[in-house]
Structure 1
Amino acid sequence: MNEVESRVAAGVITELVKQTVYPIKHAVTSKWGKSALKSEIELIDAYEKYLTKSKEKYSKTKTLLYKRTPKDLYSFYENLNVKYEEQQIDTSDIRSILEVSNRIIITGTGGIGKSTMMKHFFQNSIDTTFLVPIMIELRNLNDRTNNGEIDLVDYIYNNIVDFDFNTKKIYLEYSLETGKNILLFDGLDEVKNEILNDVILAIQKFGHKYNKCPIIVTSRPTDSFIGWNEYIEVSACPLSKSQALSLINKLDFDTDIKKNFYKELDERLYDTYEDFASIPLLLTIMLITYDNNANIPKELHEFYEQAFSALFYTHDASKGGYKREIESKLSYDRFKKVFSHFCFQSYLNDDYTFTNEKVLSYLNESKRKFENDSDFNTENLLDDLINSVCMLVKDGLKYVFPHRSFQEYFAAIYTMNLLDDIQEKLFNEIVHGKSDCFDSRYVEILEQLQPDRFAKNFLLPKARELNSMINEKSYIKILSLFYMEAVIGNKFLAFPINDTTYFHIFDKILKLEGKVNGGWDKNEISQLYKKIIKKLGEEVNGIEFNQLNELGLLEDMLGIINFYKEIEIFSKGVEKIEAKLVTQSLSSEDFLKNL
């Protein structure tokens, strides 16, 4: 902050203090008389010292780019919008959000910037309101040694005393009673479960007692806020394209790299990687990756590999070459191997968020897996994952991936190194049973990384079973695997997809052959509908494939859905995969003979 800015800030604080002290003075003298009032000069001094020191603290923060040296908040901060009902609210001025309510809960996922937003609110409330802000990082309540009811006023007072608020607690209480403060409770999700209810109760009781003071609480999304009837819940919005570009423009980074990345972000990267580019933390990871490689690859697996490598080897931009030590002392390859196993285990167990106990349990299991070539301390590895390579983010009391696709990528990396018979067993007994199997990046990345082995181990076993049914002409059985019973409504007929592995395998092989499943003729479906109604009456609302067969209408349905044509294409696709595998096997034998 330059001299002019310092003087402006000092003037703002002085005016704010006056607006705060006078109501307190009036309240005290009205109740107790002038003799009870502490020296007005001392009271002004206490507030000025508090605001000056706390403003300084919350004006700086560390970032992924500057891990050692805190940077000025407004040198890089991009205002996030919050969403209330269907309306987006600009948070550049705290008064906009206070117009919605003086009781606000802001929810958002890890990495979106809730805590940074609260630091902005602290600064902005000093500049734009006559309210003295008080920031309480709720995770610090976890360190309380005494159990039972939480005296939040006492806790707040002790916090602000640390910022040189050298006056009696009663003056804080008068300040709260007259509504001269705004309370910023950051990170409710970081409070331990065993005291969470006590903290919630303390905040609610505090809000009832000091109902003139605005209160803002941040947390990750949770159902716990259903009972907070006095509070309005708003959600932090991801960065829009213009906001993402603005953020990149503000970052203190190599000018040429930033200029080129900005251009590509505008032209294609934001649209291609919106899930990443709209989250401040992940957008920063994209920039670091771009810096290391001068591009962001189009293939997903290449992007994740480059991002991990960039983060593992990244330097602190504020130190001109400083590289944070890898505390676990693992090399890049060993670190990647251990982390891949961690992701593989947790992905198969559907674990995406972790308590401290659970994450260490998984890491210890990975350590045992590679104990012959990787000796490390799991606590150090966890520290590396959070602070060095940023593959885990502390979200409240839990750990989460900065983006779930990182877990899927590294799980796929581990899977790729398994032998064929183990891969096939894994896919058929575990992976195919996962509800999101065919929608996951895990499967998509495996197909990119090992297309031939993917076809052999993932597609072929189930495809052979389907081919056997086709050869036996078990058409009703196949239809039952692909579709639920036909649904009949008011002048329509539909065939809802039965979300089974067989349907997706069939669909995948059709796509490999350049054929897209579906595209049925509406007129033919309408004709079948009329035939069914004629035979069963208009009261019918569903019909099984066996019934269609008994009514002599199965062939009509098979014609409508292009069944015969599609199973022919499917069978040819399976034959191609089989033939390719035979060719590869013969090639391997010839190779071995020539060794």
Structure 2
Amino acid sequence: MPKSNLSYTQLFRHKFNRLVSISLFLLTLTIVLSWSWILPSYTQTPTPNIKSREVIIQKIKESAKRHVENEQKMDSQLIIEIYGENSVGLTKLEITEIYEVEYEKVKDEIDSNFWKKIKDDFFYGLPWFAAIAFFILFLFKEAIQGWGTDFIKTIGNWLYNQISGIELFWNFSLKRYKKGLINKHEQLKIPFRPNRPLSLQEIYVDLQFLEKANNEPINFSEIKKYNRLAIKGQPGAGKTLLLKYLVLSWAREKLKTSSNEYVPILLELYRLNEVEISALNMEVLKQKLVEALDRDDFPKANSFVEQSLEKGKLFLLFDGLDEVKSLIRSQVVQAINDLLDKYDKCRAIITCRAAVYRNDFAESVEKTLDIKEFSDRQMRLFLEAWKSEMPPEKSIDQLIQTLRDRPLIMELARNPLMLTIVAHLYTQPAFVLPQSRSDFYQESTHILLNQWQNNFNQYKESAHKRRVLQHLALFAQDNASKQQKNDLSLDYQIVLEQIQKVLPDLNLNPETDTQPILKEIVERSGLLLEVERGDKYQFAHLTLQEYFAATALRDKENELIERFKNDPERWRETIKLWCGFAGNSTNLIEVIYQEDSLTAFECLADAQEVSPILAEGIIEEFKQKLVEANSDENLARAFGAVASDVRERGRGKVVFEFLENALNYSESLEVRQASVKALSKTNLPQAADILFMYYEDINLVDARLALINMGDIAVSLLKGLAEKGSEMAMRDLVKIGTPYSRETLNDLLYHSDENIQRLAALNIAEFTSLNN
């Protein structure tokens, strides 16, 4: 045989043997995996001999692991039956949480195994899968020789991207989608707590809502019965957090069965800002839904979206209409309305800032709701996540009481985002809450800009970073006015250019200091955030941007006035904050009074110094407008803010006494009702005393609702009625839902009257049910 033929034969035999070996390896691996799947272990869990807390926790985790490996459904009740009676102090709630967390963890680990996924989702019922395997074998035979974890992952992702959009594999794609949502939303990043996120499940508090036609609060559980809602609220009220919580709960399969029938898609509406106005329509919106699925690991979902829309199986969550540019907002609204009209079986929630919403979806939704500010109960529940971080000399009770003594700061803290800042600052041992809003912003931003200074900050002068933030805030406010947009973000390159303009005045080098100082502000203070993967930046909250813009114009009163005249909505909050740290605000308030009398009235709550004659004139005008507070929430808040000003300047006292007299002596029921609403906004104990006088007045039912909203302030007042057997007072103590109200109900169990004992027991049961 010639040498050339021999070489060719040997080469062929070598290649053939290697291919056979690889094929046998794959076949053996498939048989082993299949055999282990067909014959799972059914070892029973013995009753543990518990010697310590650590032992029982380990046993619970081992049970969870066995249940996953045996492909058993999560069975928390079984675990409670086995381990519920223990001598180490573990409660049933703790046992359930340990078991469920470990079950999900092990399940995720198994799901992430490529071959396990093949076994579960592809192999059985798909005889042609073998052909695909051999096709991949021949196609990648050289790479298979270097088999490893990275290669498996690469091939798995490649294969998944090819098949994810095929209907046959949608169930598998939805599993990946759920995992993507969990990875994205389970940890809530707090900007000013770098590398210390909080669990969204732990910090989330069920919101309450108000409908314009009804002042009675609507609980979160009640809104689930509506298929379509528009939800509006103040900045930081929890609109986005609500939608994230909904998708996370769905991904963790913790929603009720009826809700699990719908696949949620969360679309941030600011993503439409880059679409040409002429191209905005329903089809573009559908494509954005496809892209949203792609971002969370369900690629090529065009057919899935189309069919799910047709079948009414999507839960559409449109977040932040206010972040859409003003110039294109009407087109976006039309596209959403067209989509909801065509696919009328799909559920939907649309969120928007209250100041921007113009009843745009009245024809498409069942209800339009306002997010209600946090009650005392919600504040306490929210603060539980911070309890472990408070120094020994501080507590949640002390923080709540401190806020009670500072009504203007309490008003801020009823907003979830601002309460987050308050809670974070309160965990600092030396921090003391200021009295005024301006002082609060000054003190809080000072601490956030200086944290870690001794060990980490490259730029030790916080004044330098404050000056950069002031310049960026002023630019952002001006830029938003010029472009008629409401989103808060600035392009990365624009941010760099603006910082470079201010650095020479700080004796810093624009060439070498721009990016480092920007990075330090973002990473160490959290006052400025990276968004869209660093392509844009924005302030953590609009009110922070407005505060820094106000301080940038501290000595430029006329420039601030001109800006307000050109765009009152944009500069209203900035004007009020400016009055808080300016010396004498008389001239500014007088000019503003001619342009917008309500803003001038609101300025009286913050102003350090203003002409008594001007202040009296403004107050006298608004006394005549009190009745309008029944339908104007902003006016009611303005009355409450001015009346709650406890500083010794007289303006707050004058307004408070006017409201008290109007309630006590006015012959107009509408005026008295408006007084109730305004007094409830003050957060003052003396206001609660006045409202309590009308607690049982059927013509002033809002007085009762206002007392419930005032929380612990009202508990001591309701206690007296409850001790006399008032069922209404007991029910309202349940609604207040704080530890103090629970303690009051508990005390009634020892009342001398057996009927009162029985009523107390019934209401405690209701309390436990509602506040579990």
TM more than 0.5: yes
Q: Give the aligned partner of residue 310 of structure 1.
A: 447
Q: Give the aligned partner of residue 397 of structure 2.
A: 263
Q: Give the aligned partner of residue 241 of structure 1.
A: 376
1:175 aligns with 2:311: no
> Following the alignment from structure 1 to structure 2, what is the Cα–Cα distance between the partners of residues 171 and 108?
32
Kept in 2: contact 1:111–1:402 (CA 8 A): no
Query: Which residue of 184, 194, 211 corresponds with 1:67?
Result: 194
Q: Give the aligned partner of residue 9 of structure 2.
A: none
1:49 aligns with 2:176: yes
Q: Per-residue CA shift, 1:286-332, capped at 9, x if unaligned?
A: 2233334243244666544321222212359xxxx996x68xx5822
1:184 aligns with 2:320: no
> Following the alignment from structure 2 to structure 1, what is the Cα–Cα distance between the partners of residues 300 and 243?
26
1:201 aligns with 2:338: no
> Following the alignment from structure 1 to structure 2, what is the Cα–Cα distance between the partners of residues 39 and 511?
71
Structure 2 CA distance for partners of 1:205 and 1:516, relative to 1, 3 Å: closer
> Following the alignment from structure 2 to structure 1, what is the Cα–Cα distance between the partners of residues 551 and 432?
21
Structure 2 CA distance for partners of 1:209 and 1:266, relative to 1, 3 Å: same
- TM-score, normalised via structure 1 length: 0.56
Q: In structure 2, give the amino acid aligned to 1:141.
A: L
1:288 aligns with 2:446: no
Q: Per-residue CA shift, 1:78-129, capped at 9, x if unaligned?
A: 22212223232222x4xx3132x31211111222221111011112344222
Structure 2 CA distance for partners of 1:146 and 1:291, relative to 1, 3 Å: same
Query: Which residue of 134, 139, 143 corresponds with 2:270?
Result: 139
The runs of 5 or more residues in structure 1 that have no matched partner are 15-20, 22-37, 417-422, 448-457, 464-478, 488-503, 505-509, 523-595
Q: In structure 2, give the amino acid aligned to 1:284.
A: T
Matches within 5 A, 1:156-171: 156-165=289-298, 169-171=302-304
> Following the alignment from structure 1 to structure 2, what is the Cα–Cα distance between the partners of residues 274 and 344?
27
1:432 aligns with 2:567: no
The runs of 5 or more residues in structure 2 that have no matched partner are 1-96, 112-120, 122-164, 558-580, 625-641, 643-647, 662-772
Q: Per-residue CA shift, 1:534-572, capped at 9, x if unaligned?
A: xxxxxxxxxxxxxxxxxxxxxxxxxxxxxxxxxxxxxxx
Structure 2 CA distance for partners of 1:67 and 1:366, relative to 1, 3 Å: closer
Kept in 1: contact 2:186–2:200 (CA 8 A): yes
Matches within 5 A, 1:377-392: 389=525
Kept in 2: contact 1:181–1:214 (CA 8 A): yes
Q: In structure 1, give the amino acid aligned to 2:420.
A: T
What is the CA distance between 1:427 and its match in structure 2?
Answer: 5.5
Structure 2 CA distance for partners of 1:240 and 1:314, relative to 1, 3 Å: farther
Q: Per-residue CA shift, 1:129-185, capped at 9, x if unaligned?
A: 222211112222334479513523333223324434367633432222222221111
Kept in 1: contact 2:266–2:317 (CA 8 A): yes
Identical pairs, percent: 19
Matches within 5 A, 1:159-558: 159-165=292-298, 169-221=302-354, 222-226=356-360, 228-231=362-365, 232-251=367-386, 254-256=389-391, 260-270=394-404, 272=407, 273-292=409-428, 293-298=430-435, 302-314=439-451, 331-336=461-466, 372-373=505-506, 375=508, 389=525, 401-402=542-543, 406=547, 410=551, 429-435=587-593, 439=601, 446-447=608-609
Task: Give me the CA root mean square deviation.
Answer: 5.5
> Following the alignment from structure 1 to structure 2, what is the Cα–Cα distance between the partners of residues 5 and 444?
48
Q: Per-residue CA shift, 1:333-384, capped at 9, x if unaligned?
A: 3444666788899999xx9x98689999999999979964455879978888
Between 1:113-122 and 1:358-367, the stretch displaced more is 358-367
> Following the alignment from structure 2 to structure 1, what is the Cα–Cα distance between the partners of residues 446 and 282?
46
Query: Which residue of 213, 217, 220 corresponds with 1:88?
Result: 217
Q: Give the aligned partner of residue 5 of structure 1.
A: 101
Q: Give the aligned partner of residue 57 of structure 2.
A: none
Structure 2 CA distance for partners of 1:119 and 1:9, relative to 1, 3 Å: farther
Q: In structure 2, give the amino acid aligned to 1:4.
A: E
Query: Which residue of 233, 258, 264 corresponds with 1:108?
Result: 233
Q: In structure 2, give the amino acid aligned to 1:312.
A: L
Kept in 2: contact 1:132–1:180 (CA 8 A): yes
> Following the alignment from structure 1 to structure 2, what is the Cα–Cα distance between the partners of residues 142 and 357?
12
Kept in 2: contact 1:240–1:278 (CA 8 A): yes
> Following the alignment from structure 2 to structure 1, what is the Cα–Cα distance between the partners of residues 239 and 496?
29
Helix, strand or coil: the match of 1:238?
coil
> Following the alignment from structure 2 to structure 1, what is the Cα–Cα distance between the partners of residues 319 and 487?
21
- TM-score, normalised via structure 2 length: 0.45
> Following the alignment from structure 2 to structure 1, what is the Cα–Cα distance between the partners of residues 296 and 475?
46
> Following the alignment from structure 2 to structure 1, what is the Cα–Cα distance between the partners of residues 320 and 618?
47
Greater relative CO (CA pairs within 8 A, separation 6+): 1
Structure 2 CA distance for partners of 1:384 and 1:279, relative to 1, 3 Å: farther
Kept in 1: contact 2:227–2:348 (CA 8 A): yes
Structure 2 CA distance for partners of 1:288 and 1:356, relative to 1, 3 Å: same
